[in-house]
């Protein structure tokens, strides 16, 4: 998840750097998704509620995708 969120942030930053010169009067904001996910991981009680114990490392319902056999 870390690599995915950081890569998404970096790609967005690069795209915005290329786009901004083309739209000089625009107001653009960049949302740092990695920081949100990191804060959720570090402080789960601020984001998760319910009766189940707080768990930020496991999953509730696992789904394993079966790849077709290629011959």
pTM across the whole model: 0.59
Tell me how far the alpha carbon of residue 47 is from its chain's centroid: 15
Q: What was the pLDDT predicted at 1? A: 67
Count of structural domains within the chain = 1
Instruction: Note whether 4 and 11 are within 8 A (CB).
Output: no
Listed in sequence order, the residues at least 6 apart from 16 whose beta carbon sits closer than 8 Å to its beta carbon are 28, 30
- Taking the C-alpha atoms of residue 38 and residue 12, their distance in angstroms, rounded to an integer, is 18
* pLDDT digit string, tens, across residues 21-54: 999 898 888 888 889 989 999 999 999 887 888 8
Q: Domain range holding 47?
A: 1-71
């Amino acid at each position: 998840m870390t690599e995915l969120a950081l890569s998404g942030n970096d790609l967005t930053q690069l795209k915005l750097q290329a786009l901004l010169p083309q739209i000089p009067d625009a107001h653009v904001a960049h949302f740092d998704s990695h920081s949100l996910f990191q804060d959720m991981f570090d402080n789960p009680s601020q984001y998760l509620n319910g009766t189940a114990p707080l768990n930020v490392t496991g999953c509730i319902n696992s789904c394993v995708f079966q790849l077709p056999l290629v011959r």
